């Protein structure tokens, strides 16, 4: 009878066992004598190789790139749990071929990221960064404060690309602001939009009607540069763009041009096409843009929630169950996955 082996990203748990993200509670794993917890090799955002995953039954990932190079025929790996909901660093098809389930943490990020969107919208509409700067100028700044009024939200149009887990939560939080709410999402159940008082519209209408456009979709071939030069040109001169999804969903060069030319009022960006952004990126010099280093949603509650979801997924696999948050659902029909799951149950015996 052997132990259940879990590998934790070095970006979460360092090699010496200390937590790089202290809000993550690993105690359910660490305090279970049936489980052996180790830190994965510190590859940062590089490739996680097969030698790094050898011997593990489950791994919790941060930024590591997962693909064919991560797997070998004689491995035990059943689960790769991502710390978050993005999986653009994970080759889902390769994982499925090798019988590895990929779990996300949707419940951990839903409210924190939606709050981030709302934070951007409020800060942009109230012009908080500019008014902070005026305040620090004392008399000169105070003298011109009425020249920099913000805009009210009542009756304005909040538009979203994507009405999934996070997009729906954005609209739930926006309800008290009495805004008009529209969204484009060809994959969503229209009943959800109705329940949220959100009107589903064509993609072009989202751009044409938005006062605040929030991007909440996954990054894939279909959504890459879905916010582009042509669609930005459809927007109102006083409109704002908010992106908390993935940088390449927005054509950054086109967005910069629209901002420089005054075609948009401003933007709130937590993600970028190149991360970290370069020091000479024009966005860093724009007073009407609020920037965050892909971390605005990082709070104690967010970190704890994501960690709890990943830990729960690891424990579910140990019990022979299928975690609720598996993104490659077809893996559960995989012969490789099921054989490995049966082998794990036999190896753990009554300990599982």
Residues with catalytic annotation?
Answer: 246, 275, 294
> HSE-up of 64 (CA within 13 Å, CB side)?
28
Q: Which residues pair with 82 in a beta bridge?
A: 61
Nearest-angstrom CA–CA distance, 134 and 144: 8
Nearest-angstrom CA–CA distance, 263 and 255: 9
Of the candidates 157, 225, 226, 156, which has an alpha carbon nearest to the alpha carbon of residue 185?
A: 226
Structure token digits, residue 172: 């739930």
Q: Is 56 left (phi over 0), alpha (psi -120 to 50) or beta?
A: beta
Contacts for 27 with CB less than 8 Å, ≥ 6 apart: none
Residue whose structure tokens are 């908010």: 242
Angle subtended at Cα 171 by Cα 25 and Cα 162, rounded to the nearest 5 degrees: 85
Nearest-angstrom CA–CA distance, 283 and 307: 32
Work out the end-to-end distance of the chain between its first and last CA atoms, rounded to an integer number of angstroms: 10
Per DSSP, 60 falls in state E
Q: Parallel, antiparallel, or unpaired for β 212-215 and 157-161? A: parallel
- Could you give the angle at which helices 165-174 and 106-126 cross, rounded to 10 degrees? 50
Q: Which H or E run includes 214?
A: strand 212-215
Structure token digits, residue 317: 């696999």
Structure token digits, residue 8: 């934790």
Nearest-angstrom CA–CA distance, 329 and 331: 5
């Amino acid at each position: 009878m052997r132990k259940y082996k879990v590998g934790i990203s070095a970006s979460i748990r360092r090699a010496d066992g200390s937590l790089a993200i202290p809000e993550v509670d690993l105690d359910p794993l660490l305090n279970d004598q049936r489980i052996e917890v180790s830190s994965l090799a510190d590859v940062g955002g590089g490739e996680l190789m097969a030698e790094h995953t050898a011997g593990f039954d489950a791994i919790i990932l941060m930024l590591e790139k997962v693909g064919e190079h991560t797997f070998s025929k004689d491995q035990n790996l059943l689960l790769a749990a991502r710390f978050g909901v993005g999986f653009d660093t994970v080759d889902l098809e390769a994982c499925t071929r090798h019988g590895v389930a990929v779990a996300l943490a949707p419940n951990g990020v839903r409210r924190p990221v939606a709050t981030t969107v709302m934070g951007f919208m409020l800060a942009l509409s109230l012009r908080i960064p500019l008014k902070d700067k005026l305040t620090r100028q004392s008399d000169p700044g105070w003298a011109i404060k009425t020249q920099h009024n913000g805009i009210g939200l009542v009756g304005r149009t909040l538009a979203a690309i994507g009405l999934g887990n996070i997009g729906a939560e954005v609209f739930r939080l926006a309800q008290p602001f009495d805004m008009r709410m529209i969204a484009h999402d060809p994959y969503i159940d229209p009943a959800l939009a109705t329940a949220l008082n959100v009107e589903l519209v064509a993609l072009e209408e989202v751009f044409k009607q938005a006062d605040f456009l929030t991007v909440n979709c996954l990054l894939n071939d279909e959504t890459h540069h879905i916010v582009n030069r042509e669609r930005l040109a459809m927007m109102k001169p006083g409109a704002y763009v908010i992106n908390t999804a993935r940088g390449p969903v927005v054509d950054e060069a086109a967005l910069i041009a629209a901002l420089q030319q005054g075609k948009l009022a401003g933007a709130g960006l937590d993600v970028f096409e190149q991360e970290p952004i370069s020091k000479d990126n024009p966005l860093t010099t724009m007073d009407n843009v609020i920037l965050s280093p892909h971390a605005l949603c990082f709070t104690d509650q967010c970190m704890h929630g994501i960690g709890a979801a990943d830990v729960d997924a690891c424990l579910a696999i140990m019990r022979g169950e299928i975690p609720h948050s598996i993104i490659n659902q077809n893996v559960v029909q995989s012969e490789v996955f099921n054989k490995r799951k049966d082998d794990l149950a036999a190896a753990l015996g009554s300990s599982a």
